[in-house]
Structure 1
Amino acid sequence: MTRPLIKICGITRMRDALLCASLGADMLGFIFHEPSPRNVDPKIARAVPVGGPLKVGVFVRQQADEILRIMEECRLDLAQLHGGHDVDTCEALGRDRVLKVLWPERYDSAASFEADVERFAPHCRHLLLDAGTSGGGHGTAIDFSGLDPERIQSSWMLAGGLGPSNVVAAAALHPDGLDVNSGVESAPGIKDETKLRELFSLLRNEQ
């Protein structure tokens, strides 16, 4: 099995960014949302070297102009849209630079979820399917049973309570990527080296 892309989100410390890069992370996520316990100091996000894992900014309330300003300031590669951003925002940022979050459990039917998948897929690099009905980083595991990967005809990533205990099961759904946050932490915004090493070891063994 080909290993999916791995994004480690909620990075707040340089030491964690460098550790994740050394373990083989493909993306590092930096949250720009002040109420979050994982809200990052922009100086740290900017200081993380470019040329390694892609640097992803997570945005909730910001509009396109502010997102673009932060992306330039912090030398970010991608924007993860975690709020009510629409297709126009995706286009303003550039489709190859956008991860658009959808919450499958928010929809009252498979048809309404698939309609949003079709609406956003042409305007973003990846769709990111998260647990719950809003927010993120809460540790709630996504309900795998409600996902039908065969019906998602676009590049997609999976998030929601992922960690060493369930990452192999998540990878078995063959997403293009996995987004890991609270499942590899010792406290919000503080990554746990043992959990990270176990996670990457499990995924390497599945290849």
Structure 2
Amino acid sequence: MSMARVKICGITRIEDALAAAQAGADAIGLVFHAASPRAVSIEQARAIVQALPPFVTSVGLFVDASEETIRRVLEQVPLDMLQFHGDEPEAFCQRFVRPYLKAVRVRAGDDLDALAGRWPGASGILLDSYKPGVPGGTGETFDWSMIPAQRNWTLVLAGGLQADNVRQAIDLTTPWAVDVSGGVEAARGIKDVAKINAFIQEVKRV
């Protein structure tokens, strides 16, 4: 198994994006959802993306945003990838000529193969924990044993990950990538450099 890739989500500051890149993150996530404590403006996001070094993927996260809203962001922020956390159907996700991740909030009894099959064009299916009224960033894990060992879709694992459980998560689920936000924060939207480094070092040790 190759090393899992790492995405540090909920970046709101240039210094946090650079710390993630320096630590070895493969991608950073920018939240364009006003209700989130980690939301960024177009101006913030543009400055962060412009500061990134080469080969760090910028991902824009949206929750049931309108096509007009997403296109307005893309006109001003050169995002590499999109991430959809709402009820967006496959046809909508495909409209923007960008690779995309589709987030699925996992509930007990879900057939994850069937759910993943609803977005055949997705570069990855991001599994997060379900919490009523919260589209993501719950800081809670879900039952990883629900994830099929054999699957024909690309798993990005999220939900309650931090340095002290990410190795176990990778061992159990063999994801292509792991996605962390709250698990590497000093406060909502403010990352902790030591936690970022510890998280990525744990991933590398698997």
Name the SS for the 2:114 alignment partner: helix
- Residue 165 (structure 1) aligns with: 164
Q: Give 1:120-199 correspondences, 5 Å limit.
A: 120=119, 122-133=120-131, 134-150=134-150, 152-172=151-171, 173-199=173-199
Q: Distance in 2 between matches of 1:109 and 1:142?
A: 12
Indicate if the aligned counterparts of 1:71 and 1:77 stay in contact, CA closer than 8 A: no
> Structure 1 stretches (4+) deviating beyond 4 angstroms?
none
Q: CA deviation at 1:64?
A: 2.7
* Paired position in structure 1 for 2:99: 97
The 5 Å alignment of 1:77-88 reads 77-88=80-91
| TM-superposed deviation, 1:108 | 3.9
Q: Comparing 64-73 with 176-185, which one deviates more in the overlay?
A: 64-73
Q: Which amino acid aligns with 1:127?
A: I
Unaligned runs of 5+ in 2: none
Contact 2:113 / 2:148 at 8 angstroms: preserved in 1? no
| SS of the residue 2:141 aligns to | coil
TM-score of the two chains, using structure 2 as the length reference: 0.90
Gaps of 5+ in 1: none
2:203 matched residue in structure 1: 203
Spell out, residue by residue over 1:3-51, the C-alpha distance to the aligned partner (whole angstroms, 9 max, x if none): 1111000000110000001111111000011111101122221122353
Mean Cα deviation higher: 135-144 or 81-90 = 135-144
Q: Deviations for 1:124-180, whole angstroms, at most 9, x for unmatched residues?
A: 111111111551112111221222231x21112010011101110122121111000
Q: 1:86 to 1:196 in 2, by over 3 A?
A: same
Displacement of 1:203: 1.7
Could you tell me which amino acid in structure 1 is paired with residue 160 of structure 2?
Answer: G
For residue 98 of structure 1, what is the amino acid of its counterpart? Y
Deviation at 1:109, TM superposition (A): 4.2
Which stretch of the first structure deviates more once superposed, 6-15 or 54-63?
Answer: 54-63
Return the alpha-carbon distance in structure 1 between the equivalents of residues 154 and 28 of structure 2. Answer: 18
2:53 is the counterpart of 1:54? no
Aligned partner of residue 152 in structure 2, secondary structure: coil
Tell me the CA shift for residue 82 of structure 1: 0.5
Aligned to 2:19: 19
**Residues 163, 97 of structure 1: CA spacing in aligned structure 2 closer, same or farther, 3 A cutoff?**
same
What value does the CA root-mean-square deviation take over the aligned residues? 1.6
CA distance in 2, matches of 1:141, 1:10: 17
Q: TM-score, normalised by structure 1?
A: 0.90
Secondary structure of 2:11's partner? coil
Inter-partner Cα distance in structure 2 for 1:102 and 1:59: 13
What's the % identity of the aligned pairs?
A: 35
Deviation at 1:204, TM superposition (A): 1.9
Deviation at 1:62, TM superposition (A): 0.8
User: What is the identity, as a one-letter code, of the residue corresponding to 2:148?
Assistant: D
Q: For 1:178, give the aligned amino acid.
A: V
